[in-house]
Chain A
Amino acid sequence: MSEPVTALHNASYTSGIAEVFEVGPIGMITLRGDLNAKPLRKVAVAAAGVNVPDQRGILTEGARGMAWMSPDELLILCPYDEVHARLADLQSATAKLHALAVNMSDARAVFEIRGPHAREVLAKLAPVDLAPGRFAPGTIRRTRMAQVPAAFWMVDDVTFRIVCFRSVAQYMFDLLKIAAQPGSEVGAFK
C-alpha cells in the first residue's frame, strides 16, 4: 500500500497572527450506539484508551482519545496506521450490540492553529463563544466555520485542532489564512 497522503500535503502558513498547519493523517472512527449502555461504553473505552467524555467533551491521551459528537455518537481518535486494527476490534466487540463503527480517517482534514491569537482567528469564522473561561481544553464543539461544517477542540491554551471534511480542506486552509492575516488582531479577549 502507498503512503497515506493528506488533502493538502501538510501545508502550513506561519506569517500571520497565528500559525496554521494541516496535520494528520489521524485515525478517526465514528462509533454510534447507546452511550448509556455499559457494554458499549466498555468497548469504546477499550478502543480509545480514555474514558467516555460527557456532553461536548473530549478526552485525549497522546495520539489517542475520544470525543462526544452527539447523544448517540462518539469519535475515537488513534494513530492513523492503527485504525484498521482498532476498527476490526470494535466491530468484533460490538458484534452482539446494536452499534455502528466506521472508519472516517480519510473523510476528513485536520488543522491546527497555534499562538496567542488562535482564539480570535477562530472567532472570526465560527459562531462560538471563544472567550477564555468559556471555551477551554476538554471541550469539543461541532459547528460551522464560515460556510462549512467543522468541529474543534483545544489541545492547550493557545492551540486548536479543527476537523472538517476532506473535500473542503483547501477552502478551510484559505479561510484560516485570511482570518490570520497580518494586522488583523482583534484584541477582544483579555
Chain B
Amino acid sequence: MSTRLATGGRLLKKSQAVEFTFNGKTMRGYAGDTLASALLANDQMLVGRSFKYHRPRGIVAAGPEEPNALVNLGDEASFEPNQRVTTTELFEGLTATSQNHWPSLEFDVGAINKHLSRFLPAGFYYKMFMYPRSFWKHVYEPIIRQSAGLGKAPKTKDGDTYEHFYAFCDVLVIGGGVAGLEAALSAGRSGARVILIEQTAEWGGRTPVDGGIIDEADAQSFVDRAVAELSAMENVTLRTRTMGAGVYDHGYVLGYERVTDHQPGVAGPRHRLWRIRAGHIITATGAIERPLSFAGNDIPGVMLAAAMRDYVVNFGVSVGDRTVVVTNNDDAYLTAIALKHAGLDVPAILDARVLPQDSELMAQAKALGIRVLMGHAVSSVKGGKRVTGVVVCSQAGEGAVLEEIACDAVAMSGGWSPVVHLWSHCGGKLVWDEAHACFNPDPNNPPIGADGAGFVTAAGAASGMFQLDDVLNDAHAAADGVTRSLGFKTPKDAKAPKGARRDDAPMMPVWLMPQGASAKLREKAWLDYQNDVKVSDVRLAAQEGFVSVEHAKRYTTLGMATDQGKLSNINGLATLANAVNAPIPSVGTTTFRPPYHPISMAAIGGEARGAVFQPVRRTPLHDWHDANGAEWEPVGHWRRPYAYRRANETTHDAVMREVSNTREKMGLLDASTLGKIIVKGPDAGKFLDMMYTNMMSTLKPGKCRYGLMCSENGFLIDDGVVARIEEDTWLCHTTTGGAERIHGHMEEWLQTEWWDWNVYVANVTEQYAQVAVVGPNARKCLERLGGMDVSKETLGFMDWADGELGGFKVRVYRISFSGELSYEIAVDASHGRAFWDALLVAGHDLGVMPYGTESLHILRAEKGFIMIGDETDGTIIPQDLGLSWAISKKKDDYLGKRAQERSHMTDPNRWKLVGLETVDGSTLPDGAYAVGEGTNENGQRNVIGRVTSSYHSPNLGKGIAMGLVLNGPDRMGETLSFPGTDGKTYEARITDPVFYDKEGEKPNV
C-alpha cells in the first residue's frame, strides 16, 4: 500500500495539515503536497478508469506528463474537469472526484470491455460504426458518449476571473531547473532583459531530488543562490507557476500562469495568460522519462522510476513497501537507492542490459544489498486494482517464467526523452540520438525568425544533455551565445558552475519487454495509457498499411489524448518502426502543437466575458432609450432601439404606433450612428466623383445629394447623403455599419492609388449626436425652439444650414429617409442628450414620439427606398435596383464603372427591383423565393425572384414588400407564387416599389 513516511518530504510544510475529499471521502495531506502525493499518502492508488476498456488506473508520473490521474475538481462555479492530480497543488477544502467510471470507481460495468478487447482493435470505430449510417447518430454515438468520454462538462457559470498580460524581454528562459536558472543568470548578468518562467511552484527542477552536486555542494544551495541573485537583478523577472504553453512566430510566446489555483477564494484572477514578445527564447524544459512496454504496465502501482523518487524525496510518500525496479539505464538505480535510504525494501532491480562491469550507481545499489538481475525483464505484472507481484523473465526471450517476486510497486525506466515540444512548435527540427535513444533538438535547424536566424535555443536536458556538468555548461553557453547575438556582453569572469560527473553505463533501447513477447503479452503492454493503445494495436495498424506515423497515430489514436503522447510518443514510434522494419529516425515524429499542456479556455478568453465579451457602442442618447422601453437591435457593434415598447404593448403594436404617429404628427429618430466623414482638399471634388457613382463635384455649397458607392467590382457597398460644406469640403454620410469601412476604403484609395491627390479625410461620426425630426409637425417643433430660419424658402428640401436651435449650436440637413417633412440635426455629442430632451419638451403637444429602427424600415419601404444589406448583399449593382438615375453619365470614370459594363452586369436577365403586394393583404415572409416553371438540374424548382424587405404597413393597412425579380419591371401586375417555410404559399402582385406618396410631395413642403 502507498503511505506517508515518517521522514522526508523536502517540499512539505508538515506544520500545516490540509483536509480534502476524493469521491466524497475526507483525506488529509500537508501544505506543499500535490493532489497526487496527497492521494498516494492516503493509499488511494486507484484514481481513474481508462478511456476505452475502463481498466483501473493509478498515478504513473509526477508532472504534466501524467496520463491517467485526471479528476473533476471543485463544484458549482469552480467545477473543472480533466485536471491532473500531479499538477494540482493541494489546498484546504479541495474536492475531487474520479472520472470515466460507471457506476463507481471500484466497480465499473464498462470494464467488461476489456474482455471484449479482441473485438475492439485499432481502427475499431472506423470498421464498426460505418454502417448502417443512421445508426451513428441514434445508436452508436450516444452509447460511446456514455461509456467513453472523460470529465463532465461544467453546468454552472465560471465564478473566477482571468486576464492577459503583455510582456516584453530580450531573453525568455522557459523552465526553472538548474539549466534554466544558469541560463537566466548568464543572460541576466549581460544586462539583457530576462524573463524566467517555471511551471511548478518550486525552482530547481529535479536535480535536488536526484542529489546532484554543484560546485561541491548539494544542488539546492546552488538553486537558492541563483534565485537570490536573479531576484536582486533589476532586469530579471522571475515567475513560478507559469508554464511556457506555446512558441509562435516572431518570438511570441504564451505563458500560462496559475495565479490562485492553489489558494482559491483569494482575490484576483485565477489564471493569467502572459503574451510575451521575446528577442530570443531559451527552452530549458528538461526531459521526460519513458515507460517500458511490458504486460500489465498499466496496473496501479506501476510507476515511472523518477516519479517514485519524487514522491519519496519531495513528499515523503512511498508507493509500496516492496518495489521492484525495472530498467534499461542507470538512472533508475537512483530510485532503488532512494527507496532503500527511506527504509523501504527493493527485492530486485531487473536490468535489461548485460554489462561487462558495474557502473558507479550499480555498485552503490549492490553495496546497499539490492539484488541486481542483469539481462532480466518483466514478463508480466500480477494484480488487478493494484500490483501484487512481477513475473520475471529474460529480456532476450519470449517471456518464459524464471521466478515470481511478490511486491506492491514497480518502478520502471525506459530512458529519457528531452522535452522538445516548445522547440518544435515553430518548426525546429529534431535529430536522433543513438546513444540515448531519443530525439534531440537539432541545433543546425532551429525555428527561423524573420531575419533568417534561429530564435529558439534549447538548453540542458532539453537539448539532450544528461550529465549534470554538461547540463550546466550547455545552459551557460546557450545563454552566452544568445545574449551576444542580441548585442549584450557577458562579464568575462562569469563561468558555469561545476557539476559533478557520474560514471554511467550506456543505456540500451528496449521497446518491448521481453523483446520476443508473445501476442498475448503484447495485448497487455500499454503504450498510450489514456487512449488505451497497446503494442498490439500499433502493430496491427502497420499490418493494415498505416505505415506513416501521422496515419498510424490517427488510426490507433496513439498520442491523441489530453496528454498528447508525452509518455507514449517515442515508444509508439519505435514500435511502429520495428513493425515496418525501418530505423526510428526515418519514421519520424508526429507534429508538436501548442499548448504544451492543456490550458484553460477562460485564460485564452481573458477579460472578454460578461459585459465586456464584446464592445457595445452606445450613442449619446443610449441611456434615454434604455429608460424608455427600448428593445435593442444590434447594428454592427452599436445598439439601436428597435422600438420603444410601452406598458401593455407588444413590440409589433409599438412599431405600428410609431410609424402612424410619424406620418401623422411627428417622430424623433436617433440617427447618431450614421457615419459622417469629412473630405477636404483641392482634389476633394475629383476624389468624390471617383468614390460615388453620382457627380459630387457639381454640388453647390449648402446643398445635399444622395449618393451611391460601389466597389471596384461594381457592386453597391454603401449609400448616403453628401453635403457640400465649403468650396473644398464635403461631408459624406454613410450607413451605420459603413462608417469605419468606408473611411478605410477612402484612405486606402488615397494612400495607395491617388497618393498625389490633395485630399484629407476624417471620420467625425462620433463627434455628433444626430436626431431626425420627422413628420408634418417637424417644422413647427423647430420653430418653437427658435434661433434659425427653417422655412421652406430659406431651408428647402436637400438644403443644409448651420445655426442655432433653442440655444444649441446645430447643423440642420433637410433630408428625408421617410418621405415626410424631415430635418436631420447634428449637435455636438456632449450636448446631444440635452438637445433631445429639448425636442421632447417643444414637441410635447405636437405629438412627438421617438421611433426605432423597425419603424425607420417601414417608413423607407413605403417609399421604395433601398437599404444597404437588405436590397443589397454584395452581389447587387445599382442598375439592379432601378438606381440608374444616380449614376452619372457625364463622368469618365468612377469606382465600379468598368465592372458594370461587363457582360454579366449588363445581362437583361439580372433580377431587378420591384414592389410586391400580397393578393390577400398578408405580409410576405422575408427572404422567400418566387418559384417559376420547371426544375433545375438538381431537381429543385426554378426560382425567379426573392423578397428583400417585407413589412406590414400600418399606413396602407396591408403587407408591402420589395424584391428582386427576373424581368421584374417588365411584368407589372403579374402575380408570383412564394412558398413559405410555414407550408403556406403566398401570392403577390408585382408593383411599383413606391407605395406611398409617389409624387414625393410630402417632404417637399
Inter-chain contacts of A80 with B (CB < 8 A): 830
Q: Flag whether B780 is at the interface (Cβ < 8 A).
A: no
Q: Which 3 A-B pairs have the closest CB atoms?
A: A183-B267, A183-B268, A2-B834
Cross-chain pairs A/B with CB under 8 angstroms, 25 sampled: A1-B808, A1-B831, A2-B808, A5-B833, A6-B830, A25-B830, A33-B760, A72-B760, A100-B760, A102-B678, A104-B762, A106-B830, A108-B766, A125-B164, A127-B275, A129-B277, A130-B166, A146-B615, A167-B619, A167-B637, A179-B163, A183-B268, A184-B163, A184-B268, A185-B268
Are B607 and A175 interface neighbours, CB within 8 A? yes
Give the shortest distance, in Å, between B260 (CB) and chain A (any CB): 8
Q: Mark A78-112, 1 if CB is under 8 A from B, else 0.
A: 00100010000000000000111011111110000
CB under 8 Å from chain A, chain B span 720-764: 758, 760-762, 764
Q: Would you list which residues of chain B between 199 and 227 have a CB under 8 Å from chain A? A: none
Partner of B762, one of A1, A30, A84, A175: A30
Q: Which of B234, B617, B620, B828 has the most CB of A within 10 A?
A: B828
Residues of B within 8 A of A128 (CB): 166
Tell me whether B616 is interfacial, beta carbon within 8 Å.
yes
Which secondary structure characterizes the binding site on chain A? Answer: loop
- Alpha-carbon distance A100/B731, docked complex (angstroms): 13
Is B829 among interface residues, defined by CB-CB distance under 8 A? yes
A1-26 contacts to B, CB under 8 A, are 1-7, 25
Interface mask (B156-178 → A, CB under 8 Å = 1, otherwise 0): 00000101111110000000000
What's the minimum C-beta distance from B744 to chain A, rounded to whole angstroms?
12
- Within the complex, which residue of B165, B275, B767 is in contact with A106, where a contact is CB–CB below 8 Å? B767
Indicate whether B698 reaches chain A with its CB closer than 8 angstroms.
no
Q: Say yes or no: A124 contacts B163, CB within 8 Å.
A: yes
Give the chain B neighbours of A120 by CB distance below 8 A.
165
Q: B637: which A residues are within 8 A, CB to CB?
A: 167-168
Which one of B611, B612, B767 contacts A103 once the chains associate, using CB atoms below 8 Å? B767
- Which of chain B's residues have a CB closer than 8 A to the CB of A170? 616, 618
* Residue B888 CB within 8 A of the other chain: no
Q: Which of B165, B168, B615, B638 contacts A134 (CB 8 A)?
A: B168
Given A123-B165, A124-B164, answer yes or no on A166-B764 (Cβ-Cβ < 8 Å): no
A37: CB under 8 A from chain B? Answer: no
Chain B CB within 8 A of A148 CB: yes
Which residues of chain B are near A4, meaning CB under 8 Å?
828, 830-831
Kindly state the separation between the CA atoms of A125 and B758 in the bound complex, as whole angstroms.
37
Determine whether the beta carbon of A178 is less than 8 Å from that of B616.
no
Q: Are B168 and A129 in contact (CB under 8 A)?
A: yes
Q: Is B940 an interface residue (CB 8 A)?
A: no
Chain B residues closer than 8 Å to A108, beta-carbon distance: 766
In angstroms, Cα B622 to Cα A166, docked, is: 12
Query: Cβ of A162 < 8 Å from any Cβ of B?
Result: no
| B807 beta carbon closer than 8 Å to chain A | yes
CB distance from A143 to the nearest CB of B (A): 10
A178 to chain B, nearest CB (A): 5
Binary interface encoding of chain A residues 147-190 relative to chain B, with 1 for a CB under 8 A from any of its CBs, else 0: 11000000000000000011111110011001101111110101
What is the distance, in angstroms, from A183's C-beta to the closest C-beta of chain B?
3
CB contacts under 8 Å to A, within B824-838, are 828-831, 833-835
Is A46 in the interface zone, CB < 8 Å from B? no
Q: A2-B835, A84-B809, A106-B767 are in contact. List 6 more A-B contacts (CB 8 A).
A: A100-B761, A102-B762, A123-B165, A168-B616, A170-B616, A178-B161
> Is B767 touching A102 in the complex (CB atoms < 8 A)?
yes
In the complex formed, the residue of B with least CB distance to A184 is: B268
Cβ-defined partner of B681 (8 Å) among A98, A129, A134, A169: A98
Whether B165 contacts A181 by the Cβ 8 Å rule is no
Residues of chain A with a CB closer than 8 A to B687's CB: none
Q: Are B165 and A186 in contact (CB under 8 A)?
A: yes
Set of chain A residues within 8 Å of B808, measured between Cβ atoms: 1-2
Interface pair A107/B767, CB less than 8 Å apart = yes
Is A56 interfacial (CB 8 A cutoff)? no
Give the complex CA separation of A102 and B731 in angstroms.
12
8 Å CB contact of A107 from B272, B619, B766: B766
Produce 1/0 per residue, B657-690, CB < 8 A to A: 0000000000000000000001011100000000
Q: Are A98 and B268 in contact (CB under 8 A)?
A: no
